[in-house]
Amino acid sequence: MRRYRYILFLLLVCGILGLSSFSTKERAEHYFENICDLDNQCFISGEQLVYKIFYNWKFIWVPAGQVHFNIVETDSSYLVDVVGKTFSSYDSFFKVRDRYRTIIDKETLLPKSFLRDISQGNYVRYDSMIIDQSNYEIREYYGKSKETAKLNTYQLSNCTQDLLSILYHLRNRDISTIEKGSKMPVSFFFSKKHYELDVNIVDRKKKKIKGLGKYNVIHARPELITGSVFDEDSYMDIYVSDDENKVPLMVESPLRIGTAKAVLLNHKNLKYELESLD
């Protein structure tokens, strides 16, 4: 019963397309040179993205739920809230009520704090982090609820992103040199662990997305975190607008039974116009 958790997670990682191209061997030297101080060039306060989640079984696409991404700007930060839930018609099968939040420093695009408060069927989790970027320290309260969460402290070797902030951070990376076959590294802290993964660039092309239109896209397949969310042989296809917005348009992945898909349903207050080729 992990289908919705699966697709929501891949939506949260589908912004990892903003890195300049370089090999995995060069990751430590070149990646960390550039992630600790970025200017925001591609999103503004009030941006809203809504994705519709589908589950396919025996050639039938079943609407399962929606995920809403919202940005609010303050004097010093960007507050990003993500709310995901299943439709009432799907709740009897697998009810989901999820909330994520990150607070991102406007000067560096590094996260200050992160919250994950989720309920997915019988699975519940509370995860709250305070991220001290200056001292490379994370204080994380982790457990089944806010009341029972336990505090752990982690020391890292450099600045880091969280699972949500990395979407907005990487949308601001230069993609002009990305070519087919490139591998791009990404680094973030999530659920008591620090991850360094690669994203494989499949192609840059024109793609027709049913219900959305035809767009110039970057098609990528990221390396996944195997275990409780993804199986060893799992993969996903991500299609991001090949423009100045770098907005994820569609994410699709086969499951053990059927296929899950998330498609951009509507958007509001993008910094640049999202232009269809139709």
Q: Is 170:245 a contact under the CB 8 Å cutoff?
A: no
Q: Is 186:177 a contact under the CB 8 Å cutoff?
A: no
Give the pair of three-digit tokens for residue 53. Answer: 């989640």
The pLDDT value given to residue 257: 66
The pLDDT value given to residue 71: 97
Domain ranges of the chain: 3-266
d(CA 21, CA 170): 13
Residues in CB range of 130: below 8 A, 6 or more apart: 112, 113, 138, 139, 140
Q: What is the mean pLDDT of each run of 10 residues along the chain (278 residues)?
A: 49 38 40 71 96 82 90 97 90 87 96 94 93 96 96 93 87 78 81 83 91 92 60 74 92 75 93 91
pTM of the model: 0.86
Q: How many CB atoms lie within 10 A of CB 74?
A: 10
Distance of CA 164 to the CA centre of its chain: 6
| Bridge partner list, 254 | 259
Query: E strands along the chain, which residues?
Result: 48-57, 60-73, 77-86, 96-105, 111-120, 123-132, 137-143, 150-155, 183-190, 193-209, 213-222, 237-241, 248-254, 259-268
Q: What is the largest CA-CA distance in the chain?
A: 52
